[in-house]
């Protein structure tokens, strides 16, 4: 079980990230989490949104260099040691976490070098993976 | 070339006409001998008849008898456009006006135009040069050739017209304008060759498509282009949509007009120079000294048998490189690269000559980049620094910094191998560089002296 993440190429210049967000806004897309990293010249901004395919099409249309990638999304319980346990599972399974960021509530995105292997390792634990549908439903669930 | 060129592998070159094989396919030694004999004669003729050159040569202590080898051409003065302007209108003429049979002029965007006059012999050379380039494209006596250039003072219209007559082709002198009439004439008269600027040919193509004209089924087979530079991408598109083969040629009013060199079908990005009529040099635009064969430099032309207005060592300001390798089409006359930039565009960075067209070529060959680029030169930290901004293609962006860094590194290495200088490559978002036609806009020189 994995989710779709939107990665966008942005120049490190004032207003460029804002253009992407305006794109989401105009398409009525909701951001569940994001991470931005840059090299000084350009950056890669990663988003988890409620409708990834729509977001991809919308940003492409606006001329952005954008890509859909598969990442894992793990649901954590809000207690000490939970994050460490995820990374421990990955380490034991010899899976490399390329990058990692948190979403709304206690969810984290894990970009790994071997999704299948990581899924298998997590399946043996009490840690819970969620999918795109659950991402889309996130705020609803919280409201309840 | 970044744009795919139509494949010419299927062409049997032995079946294509060559207008003057005893010259166009002769040995390099014989061509050099022809050039030397003509150069000696031409320098004497020019010295005797044109005061401007006599004064220049006297000042440099050069006499016509000093010209003994082709390399001796370097002893002669260069000629710039300004010399022709200063002597307006007839100051550079070597013959009485009675012997001039036709006049042309280049449109002067500033000040006086450049006026040129042709003797009967000059017209003969000119039409032969055009005949040669028309045959390089496959035009023969049976062709029906429709002119879409304007006639008039511009050298293109009449120049091409006379050359086609020389081959024995039929001229249809439609002239410029009225696109629908052009298409109607192609249909009514069974036109096989169109002479036009590439942008007008594209316009005819589009109007025809809108009218429902079937270019694939039309009689049209060849396009002879001129009057403006023809970007390879535009040519390829016209060839595909109009189902024709298109070539273009090079020339300048100051040394004759169109016909100095022409494109054959074996090397679509090069043109054979009519060497028996033009002595070429490729020089460093800064020093005027010759560059090694195959290196990029400014083309300098000396017409070898021009009677009306002889011109010695004309600085074209056009950048090219020349190869003496024989061509698959059978011709041994040298090939020059099609002119894509002018010496005025050249940048000197840390002592290295850099042309925007070099950057353009490298980038055109990287499919993951758009053809747009910007060159920024600064010396904020003392040394000159060249930054090249390029746009990544939306489809190739990867989610990984490692991949993107590797990609930047590869682009830098490719540019460095051509420029002989390591640039800083900056990746930009697609569409972020302003689209312009002019080369000048590609370069931003911010150096402070
Ligand atoms: Zn050739």
Which residue in B398, B399, B429 is closest to A11 by CB distance? B429
Do residues B290 and B417 share a domain?
Answer: no
Do residues B86 and B172 share a domain?
Answer: yes
Residue B386 lies in domain: 352-445
Q: Is residue A126 part of a domain?
A: yes
Task: Write down the pLDDT at residue B4.
Answer: 41
Size of interface A-B (CB pairs under 8 A): 50
Do residues A100 and A84 share a domain?
Answer: yes
Asked if residue B111 has pLDDT above 60, the reply is yes
Residue A51 lies in domain: 3-69
Do residues A91 and A108 share a domain?
Answer: yes
CATH label of the domain that carries residue B246: 3.40.50.12780
Do residues B289 and B408 share a domain?
Answer: no
Do residues A40 and A88 share a domain?
Answer: no
Do residues A54 and A75 share a domain?
Answer: no
Final residue belonging to a domain, choices A51, A69, A87:
A69
Do residues B30 and B112 share a domain?
Answer: yes
CATH label of the domain that carries residue A54: 3.30.2130.10
Interfacial residues of A (vs B; Cβ cutoff 8 Å):
5, 7, 9-11, 16, 37, 39, 41-42, 44, 46, 60, 63-67, 69, 98, 111
Cβ-defined contact of A44 to B394 (cutoff 8 Å): no
Per-residue pLDDT tens over the stretch B284-311? 998 999 999 999 899 999 999 999 999 9
Final residue belonging to a domain, choices B294, B315, B343:
B343
Do residues B85 and B131 share a domain?
Answer: yes
In which residue are the tokens 């044109």 written?
B50
CA angle B283, B284, B287 (to 5 degrees): 110
Q: Is residue A64 part of a domain?
A: yes
Q: How far is CA B391 from CA A19, B290, B323, in A?
A: 17, 36, 33
CB-CB neighbors (< 8 A) of B394 in chain A: 60, 63-66
Do residues A48 and A95 share a domain?
Answer: no
Do residues B289 and B416 share a domain?
Answer: no
CA distance A143 to B224: 72
Do residues B201 and B336 share a domain?
Answer: yes
Do residues A54 and A78 share a domain?
Answer: no
Do residues B420 and B332 share a domain?
Answer: no
Do residues A63 and A121 share a domain?
Answer: no
Structure tokens at B412: 């830098």
Reported pTM: 0.71
Final residue belonging to a domain, choices A16, A48, A69:
A69
Total of domains in chain A: 2
Cβ-defined contact of A67 to B427 (cutoff 8 Å): no
Least confident of A7-11, B35-39, B393-397: B393-397
Give the best residue of A5, A7, A9, A43 to mutate against chain B (max B CB count within 10 A): A9
Per-residue pLDDT tens over the stretch B335-344? 999 998 888 7
Do residues A86 and A121 share a domain?
Answer: yes
Do residues B298 and B212 share a domain?
Answer: yes
Q: Is residue A17 part of a domain?
A: yes
Q: How many angstroms does the Cα of residue B157 sit away from the middle of ligand 1?
A: 25
Report the gap between the CA of A98 and the closest CA in chain B (Å): 9
CA distance B422 to B385: 9
Which residue in B400, B426, B431 is closest to A63 by CB distance? B431
- Residue B448, SS3 per DSSP: coil
- Per-residue pLDDT band at B103 (split at 50, 70, 90): very high
Do residues B280 and B406 share a domain?
Answer: no
Task: Give percent above pLDDT 70 in chain B.
Answer: 95
Do residues B272 and B236 share a domain?
Answer: yes
Cβ-defined contact of B430 to A16 (cutoff 8 Å): no
CB-CB neighbors (< 8 A) of B431 in chain A: 63
Does B219 lie at the interface with A, CB-CB under 8 angstroms?
Answer: no
Nearest CA in chain B to A57: B394
Give burial (CB, 10 Å; 0-12/13-18/19+) of B448. Answer: exposed
Do residues A111 and A63 share a domain?
Answer: no
Compare B105 and B111 and report the one with higher pLDDT: B105
Which residue in B394, B398, B404 is closest to A60 by CB distance? B394
Does B427 lie at the interface with A, CB-CB under 8 angstroms?
Answer: yes
Least confident of A65-74, B29-38, B94-103: A65-74
Q: Is residue A95 part of a domain?
A: yes
Q: Is residue B186 part of a domain?
A: yes
Cβ-defined contact of A98 to B400 (cutoff 8 Å): yes
Q: How far is CA B125 from CA A18, B39, B189, B258, B328, in A?
A: 64, 16, 30, 12, 25
Report the gap between the CA of A121 and the closest CA in chain B (Å): 24
Total of domains in chain B: 2
Give the best residue of B399, B406, B409, B431 to mutate against chain A (max A CB count within 10 A): B399
In this prediction, residues B392-409 reach a mean pLDDT of 88
In this prediction, residues A130-141 reach a mean pLDDT of 76
Nearest CA in chain B to A47: B399
CATH label of the domain that carries residue B380: 3.30.300.30
Which residue in B397, B429, B432 is closest to A67 by CB distance? B397
Structure tokens at B373: 């680029």
Cβ-defined contact of A42 to B404 (cutoff 8 Å): yes
CA distance B387 to B408: 12
Q: Is residue A142 part of a domain?
A: no
Do residues A13 and A65 share a domain?
Answer: yes
Compare B344 and B48 and report the one with higher pLDDT: B48
Final residue belonging to a domain, choices A69, A87, A118:
A69
Do residues A7 and A55 share a domain?
Answer: yes
In this prediction, residues B131-155 reach a mean pLDDT of 95
Do residues B337 and B378 share a domain?
Answer: no
The interface pTM score, or ipTM, of the predicted complex is 0.77
Per-residue pLDDT tens over the stretch A66-83? 999 999 999 888 788 888
H or E segment and range at residue B34 = helix B28-49
Does B398 lie at the interface with A, CB-CB under 8 angstroms?
Answer: yes
- Per-residue pLDDT band at B212 (split at 50, 70, 90): very high
Do residues A93 and A130 share a domain?
Answer: yes
Q: Is residue B7 part of a domain?
A: no
Q: Is residue B8 part of a domain?
A: no
Q: Is residue A143 part of a domain?
A: no
Q: How far is CA B10 from CA A44, B6, B241, B247, B299, in A?
A: 47, 11, 19, 17, 33
Q: How many angstroms does the Cα of residue B331 sit away from the middle of ligand 1?
A: 5
Nearest CA in chain B to A112: B400
Q: Is residue A144 part of a domain?
A: no
């Amino acid at each position: 079980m994995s989710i779709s993440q939107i990665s966008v190429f942005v120049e490190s210049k004032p207003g460029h990230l804002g253009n992407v967000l305006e794109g989401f806004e105009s398409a009525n897309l909701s951001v569940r989490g994001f991470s931005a990293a840059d090299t000084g010249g350009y950056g890669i901004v990663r988003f988890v949104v409620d409708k990834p395919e729509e977001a991809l099409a919308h940003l492409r249309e606006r001329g952005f260099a954008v890509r859909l990638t598969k990442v894992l999304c793990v649901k954590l319980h809000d207690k000490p040691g939970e994050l460490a346990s995820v990374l421990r599972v990955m380490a034991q399974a010899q899976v490399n976490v390329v990058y990692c960021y948190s979403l709304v509530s206690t969810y984290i995105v894990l970009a790994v070098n071997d999704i299948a292997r990581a899924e298998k390792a997590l399946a043996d634990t009490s840690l819970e993976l969620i999918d795109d549908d659950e991402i889309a439903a996130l705020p609803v669930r919280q409201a309840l | 070339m970044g744009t795919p060129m139509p494949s010419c592998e299927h062409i049997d070159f032995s079946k294509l006409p060559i207008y003057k094989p005893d010259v166009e396919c002769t040995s390099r030694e014989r061509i050099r001998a022809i050039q030397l004999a003509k150069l000696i004669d031409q320098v004497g003729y020019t010295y005797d008849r044109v005061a401007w050159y006599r004064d220049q040569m006297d000042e440099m202590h050069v006499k016509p008898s000093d010209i003994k080898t082709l390399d001796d051409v370097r002893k002669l003065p260069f000629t710039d456009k300004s010399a022709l302007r200063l002597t307006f209108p007839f100051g550079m003429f070597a013959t009485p006006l009675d012997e001039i049979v036709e006049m042309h002029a280049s449109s002067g965007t500033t000040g006086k135009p450049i006026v040129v006059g042709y003797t009967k012999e000059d017209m003969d050379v000119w039409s032969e040069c055009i005949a040669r380039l028309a045959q390089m494209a496959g035009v023969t006596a049976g062709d029906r050739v429709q002119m879409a250039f304007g006639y008039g003072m511009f050298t293109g219209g009449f120049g091409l017209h006379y050359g086609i007559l020389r081959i024995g082709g039929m001229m249809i002198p439609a002239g410029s304008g009225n696109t629908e009439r052009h298409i109607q004439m192609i249909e009514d008269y069974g036109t096989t060759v169109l002479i036009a600027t590439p942008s007008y040919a594209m316009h005819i193509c589009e109007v025809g498509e809108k009218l429902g004209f079937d270019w694939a089924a039309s009689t049209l087979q060849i396009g002879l282009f001129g009057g403006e530079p023809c970007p390879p991408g535009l040519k390829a598109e016209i060839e595909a949509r109009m189902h024709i083969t298109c070539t273009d040629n090079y020339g300048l009013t100051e040394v004759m007009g169109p016909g100095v060199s022409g494109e054959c079908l074996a090397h679509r990005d090069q043109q054979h120079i009519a060497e028996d009529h033009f002595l070429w040099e490729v020089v460093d635009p800064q020093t005027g000294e010759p560059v090694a064969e195959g290196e990029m430099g400014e083309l300098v032309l000396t017409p070898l048998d021009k009677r009306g207005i002889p011109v010695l060592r004309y600085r074209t300001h056009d950048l090219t490189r020349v190869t003496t390798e024989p061509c698959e089409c059978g011709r041994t006359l040298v090939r020059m690269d099609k002119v894509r930039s002018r010496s005025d565009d050249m940048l000197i960075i840390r002592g290295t000559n850099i042309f925007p067209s070099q950057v353009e070529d490298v980038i055109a060959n990287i499919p993951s980049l758009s053809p747009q680029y910007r060159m920024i030169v600064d010396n904020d930290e003392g040394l000159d620094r060249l930054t090249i901004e390029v746009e990544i293609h939306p489809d190739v962006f990867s989610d990984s910094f490692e991949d993107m860094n590797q990609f930047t590194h590869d682009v830098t290495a490719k540019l460095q191998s051509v420029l002989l200088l390591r640039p800083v490559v900056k990746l930009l978002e697609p569409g972020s560089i302003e689209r312009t036609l002019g080369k000048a806009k590609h370069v931003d020189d911010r150096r402070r002296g």
